[in-house]
Amino acid sequence: MKRRIGFVWIALFAASLLPRPAAAAFHLMQIDQAIGGVGNDTSAQAVQLSMRAIGNNLLGGNAKLFVRDATGNNPILITDFLPLANPANNGACRQILIASSAFLAKTTPATTADYTMKNLIPASYLAGGTLTFENATGIVLWRLSWGAYSGPGTSDGTNSPGDLDANPPAAGALPSASNRALKFNPACGTAYSSNDLQYSLTGSGAVVVNNALGSFTVVAAPAVPALPGVSKLLLPVLLAAGVLAFAFLRRRAA
């Protein structure tokens, strides 16, 4: 009997030494930045994530990014991180860039994204909505809400120990009319508390970064050139003179 028990313990010990598949590591992630459009082009969108700890790059098949409307309903999948391979660089605070095809030409240099958005954030969600980084079963690991959002602010606490509610939302709509982004301002890895305290608009020319540390500055649409100095009055004066001259000539012809 003792010999049999001994063999059992030896077998269990040997099994413990066998190589095991690594557990999926993707939970420690934050939403760094979100852009709902560039220069009123709402087809040009981007979301930047950051790994909050080393080794959290096993996204494909494990994580999803959703956007929901101002009440927290009608989810739309932004990406499920498939079918592309997981990001190669998995250091702490390493970025992951998800962008729409139209966004690529809105930066200098042209953006090289890690993932292409499978669906856009609808224009109707820009005034108020919520982005959620979730696991495959729908548990929210990080949440960014903005504007007129009135839905739940809950997350599971993985990245926000002691605070399971990201509400109130960040002030204002998700930027789409300029070249600014809504950005997480604390240092990477900081536990989040509320979106209104920790997210704000960047300055003009937001900068997004991909997993290979490529840096891309968002470029605003070219401004319509203004007429210099007193010449600003010249065009309306010439137009008025032309109208008067046309009226005079018609009267003489009559």
Which residue would you say has higher pLDDT here, 12 or 29?
Answer: 29
Q: What is d(CA 218, CA 245) in angstroms, rounded to the nearest whole number?
A: 48
* DSSP code, position 239: H
Domain for residue 231, yes or no?
no
Its sign, for the CA torsion 133, 64, 68, 220, is: positive
Scored b (16 or more CB within 10 A) or e, 40-66 reads eebebbbbbbbbbbeebbbbbebbbbb
Domain for residue 188, yes or no?
yes
User: 195-231 pLDDT, tens per residue?
Assistant: 999 999 999 999 999 999 999 999 986 544 444 555 4
Q: Where are the beta strands (DSSP E) in the chain?
A: 29-35, 46-51, 63-68, 76-79, 95-99, 107-108, 115-116, 128-135, 140-147, 182-184, 199-201, 207-209, 215-218
Domain for residue 107, yes or no?
yes
Domain for residue 5, yes or no?
no
Nearest of 205, 211, 193 to residue 93 by alpha carbon? 211
Its sign, for the CA torsion 211, 64, 166, 54, is: negative
225 burial (CB, 10 Å; 0-12 / 13-18 / 19+) is exposed
Question: Which domain, by its residues, includes 100?
Answer: 29-218
Domain for residue 20, yes or no?
no
Domain for residue 198, yes or no?
yes
For 71, phi then psi, to 5°, come to -105, 0
Do residues 146 and 74 touch, judged by C-beta distance below 8 A? Answer: no
User: 142-182 pLDDT, tens per residue?
Assistant: 999 999 999 999 999 999 888 899 999 999 999 999 999 99
Query: Per-residue pLDDT for 192 more than 80?
Result: yes
Q: Which amino acid is at 39?
A: G
Which residue would you say has higher pLDDT here, 191 or 204?
Answer: 204
Domain for residue 38, yes or no?
yes
**Total domains in the fold of the chain:** 1
- What would the two tokens of residue 85 be? 């391979």
Domain for residue 49, yes or no?
yes
- What would the two tokens of residue 93 be? 């605070």
Q: How confident is residue 250, by pLDDT bands cut at 50, 70 and 90?
A: low
pLDDT of residue 246: 58
Do residues 64 and 89 touch, judged by C-beta distance below 8 A? Answer: no
Q: What is d(CA 178, CA 7) in angstroms, rounded to the nearest whole number?
A: 71
